[in-house]
Amino acid sequence: MTHLKFLFQKENYIDAVDPALYGSFIEHMGRAVYSGIYEPGHKSSDEKGYREDVAKLIKELNISTVRYPGGNFVSGYHWRDGIGPQDQRPVRLDYAWLTKETNQFGIHEFAEWAEKNSITPMIAVNLGTGTPQEAGYFIEYCNVKEGTTLSNLRQQHGRHEPYGFKLWCLGNEMDGAWQTCHLDAEDYVKKACETAKILRWVDRDIKLVACGSSSSLQHTFPEWDRIVLEGLYEQVDYLSCHHYFENRTGNPQDFLASFVQMDNFIHTIVATADYVKAKLRSKKTMMISFDEWNIWSIDGEPWQDYFTDHKRLYEVAPPILEQRYTFLDALVFGGLMCSLINHCDRVKMASLAQLVNVIAPILTQPGGEAIKQTIFWPFQMVSQFGRGVALRYFARVPVIDTVHGTSKTVQSAAVFNEETQQIAFFALNTDPEKAFDVTFNLEDFGVTSIERHVALYGDELDACNTFEQPDNVIPKILPLSDEGRINKQVSLPSLSWNMVVLNVNQ
């Protein structure tokens, strides 16, 4: 048994955790929308077709924002296709995912679903096949109260008050050659700049997100980010970044160290943004929207058959990218969430991609049940208790060498919630054999007590939750050792994800 000591001080903090860090993403892709959040006729659906069994699980996740309608889909999407009477909407081919889009779910349905679930929308505009003028018409339809052709059209469609969307993304992954009408950085800046001007002329109160790099593996990273920021620094509020993480080497220890890859990615983006700030002599500090992230085992998944079987192309909402997450995936996922918290001074928004069915924490059967995947649990724990101020701390933790470089054997984060007077400590123990005894020095917080210690541990690395056995991988409550007025101690099992909640009673 190895012993670790963590010293926390109230004034030694990183920054407040923005609730938008716990956002997600719904794209017209696979079954994310149809038979995901929306399935008219389902036994749990309301009169509008929104699945309430799924909504219940989303509520458990405490989702703050949802990015919509894409994703790659948005670069070929025209928002007018999804408005007005549903029986009059066109059926289109989607170039991004080679599917058929019925447009039965559009901006009105999304806004209604988001309001029903107390979710803040983050709207992406089409900067692929779309134009700055179309983006301007889109925000006019959505945000202008009345008195124009498009605001009046919205009212004719049954929505009298404006939607009032305040978060807008200037396209999606325009650095990627896979993107419909991909642009190089200089051309993207020109198009995004003109779009930003029009969007702000329509609504001055909006926040804008520019496309940053879609992966640290892109050959244009971080040069793309530099060029985009130099051209758009004063026009936007956030720079986006995207990254998916997979077990490329097949070594669990390398995979568990994915948080190092995320840390390095964020560090480079921050350094690039700060360089541009200095070069432009700007007084503004650029914040980051990590608005696509997750674990995605790209190779060897059954969904790839869809893209290689030409007889199946252009189906309506086929089951693609429906990854079945394992216990190992949940551990890696927890480590990534710690990194997001530890960078909350610059990463203000994040969107888990995606929310339902498509590489998602929630999995549904058409006409059937909805279950929690393994990654549901670390997200739910951090989203529920990781509200407040992220704390820095002093601790000496053993390290190991991985494909990502030197990695801590225990990856952790801590958040102090002044309102509830609680400290939430989140920790991933990557060691396959050793448990770690952790002592918390909380003298600066006065008298404390441990309320709970829950963990994911003791399962086979490839264990999954299934419709037949939905509770294969679930958190377990661990016994507490609450001795001493100042120093509190818990034990982190080998290969485990942990949440420890401490009460502060000053």
419 is catalytic: no
Q: Rounded CA gap, 220 and 128, in Å?
A: 19
- Of 301, 240, 474, nearest to 380 (Cα)? 474
DSSP-based three-state secondary structure for 134 = helix
**CA-closest candidate to residue 86, choices 151, 139, 158, 27:** 158
Task: State whether residue 160 is helix, strand or coil.
Answer: coil
Residue 70 structure tokens: 């894409």
Q: Tell me which of 292, 322, 369, 419 is the catalytic residue.
A: 292
Pairing of strands 422-429, 410-417: antiparallel
Q: Is 292 labeled as catalytic in the residue annotation? A: yes
What is the rounded end-to-end Cα distance, in angstroms, of the chain? Answer: 32
Residue identified by tokens 């007005």 is: 84
> Within 13 A of 12's CA, how many CA atoms are on the CB side?
11
Please give the structure tokens belonging to residue 173. 């992954």
Q: Which two tokens stand for residue 41?
A: 């006729």
Q: Are the CB atoms for 303 and 362 separated by under 8 Å?
A: no
Q: In angstroms, rounded to a whole number, what is the distance separating the alpha carbons of residues 136 and 312?
A: 36
> For the chain, how long is the longest CA-to-CA vector?
71
- The C-alpha angle with vertex 452 and arms to 451 and 456, in degrees rounded to 5, equals 165
Strand locations in 117-206 (E): 120-125, 167-170
What is the bridge-based pairing of β-strands 65-68 and 23-25? parallel
In sequence order, what are the beta bridge partners of 439? Answer: 5, 489
Structure tokens at 489: 């101690």
The two tokens of residue 51 are 């699945």
Query: Which residue of the set 101, 140, 173, 322 is catalytic?
Result: 173
Q: Which residues have a catalytic role annotated?
A: 173, 292
